[in-house]
Amino acid sequence: MVAVRLTDSDGATGCGYTVLHAGHGDALLPIIDNVFSGILLSEDPRRIERVWARMWREHHYSGRGGLVSFAIGAVDVALWDLRARCIGEPLWRLLGGHSKSVRAYAGNIDLNFPVEKLLEGVRRSLDAGFRSVKMRLGKPDLHEDVARVTAVRELIGPDIELMADANEAWRTDQAMRAFRALREFDLIWIEEPIRPDDYAGYAHLRAHGGVSIAAGENLHTVAEFAALIGAGGVDFPEPDLTTCGGITPWMKIAHLAHANGLPVTSHGAHELHVHLLTAVPNAAYLEVHGFGLEQFMAQPLELKEGMAIAPDRPGHGIDFDWSALQAYRVE
């Protein structure tokens, strides 16, 4: 996790963060310290589009995605939080305020669990009130994936919604075999069947696979989403503000999806994404990710009968327990 805290000249504050795999966060610090801090000190923080464009342009040569998008994301969230706190509004209302709640699903991370432990996780999700759950796919043998989906579907019955995430496990031909084998299980979607930038492969699977597709957590720019959506490769665009450059591009991707008649869903960072999904008219699902930061937050995400409720606290409403986070601090 890389966190950014901003203080404006009136003393108002905003906080943003992004999340990366272990050991990658250090690479973001010089980008933020050496370049973004100078931009922030010279600009009006209310002019978020302008600040965002400058951060993007400064790294045009080495960026346009990847780690730079993660770094911009952390700052952009802090800017939106600052702006919303200054006017005393929760982000979901400032960004559009379409709904107060969004259907949530449990994004379980269970590929390496034996079947009994996989089912235990699903039971726990149902006990917590979820009416939609996601499991992982991508075993070396497709028959094993099919057996695991069979076991989960038998446990939850026909009325609980089931998604499945392959995390890029397959080539297109392998994915097509998997789609055929999994058609009968009434999956809401299969997520990231193949590598994220094979837009033609996604279009082929969507046209012929017979199961809806979700993708986007590994796309890092609006342009990549425009390419995937434009290719006809996705049913559920799944931008993650921590990987695509923050709230500013996330909203553009959500509106792009809407203009193309598609819903939008999210990946990770559920305490932030609950605001974005409830802001827009085309929200489908909030992923409540298996790796959460609840233990470091004063008020975790509110869930009620399978719905996630956006908080009315100003900004994103997340108050981190900085003393608990201190134990993990690297600087």
Considering only the stretches 158-166, 272-280, 297-305, 307-315, report the one whose residues sit in contact with Mg ion under the rule CB under 5 A. 158-166
DSSP state of 26: G
Is residue 110 a contact residue for Mg ion (CB under 5 A)? no
For Mg ion, which residue has the nearest CB? 165
Closer CB to Mg ion, residue 17 or residue 236?
A: 236
Which of 42, 52, 41 lies closest to 7, judged by CA?
Answer: 41
Is residue 76 a contact residue for Mg ion (CB under 5 A)? no
Return the axis-axis angle of helices 199-208 and 222-230, rounded to nearest 10°.
Answer: 40
For Mg ion, the binding residue among 165, 224, 235, 271 (CB under 5 A) is 165
Considering only the stretches 61-69, 163-171, 175-183, 241-249, report the one whose residues sit in contact with Mg ion under the rule CB under 5 A. 163-171
Closer CB to Mg ion, residue 262 or residue 325?
A: 262
**CA distances, 3 to each of 117, 131, 182 (Å):** 34, 32, 40
Which of 77, 79, 75 lies closest to 36, judged by CA?
Answer: 75
261 to 320, contacts with Mg ion by CB under 5 A?
Answer: none
What's the closest the beta carbon of residue 109 comes to Mg ion, in angstroms? 9
What's the closest the beta carbon of residue 38 comes to Mg ion, in angstroms? 35
Task: Locate all alpha helices (DSSP H) within 113-260, ordered by sequence.
Answer: 115-127, 142-156, 172-182, 199-208, 222-230, 241-244, 247-259
179 to 238, contacts with Mg ion by CB under 5 A?
Answer: 191
Closer CB to Mg ion, residue 160 or residue 166?
A: 166
Q: How far apart are CA 178 and CA 284, in angstroms?
A: 24
Give residue 271's identity as a one-letter amino acid code.
E
Q: Which residues bind Mg ion (CB under 5 A)?
A: 165, 191
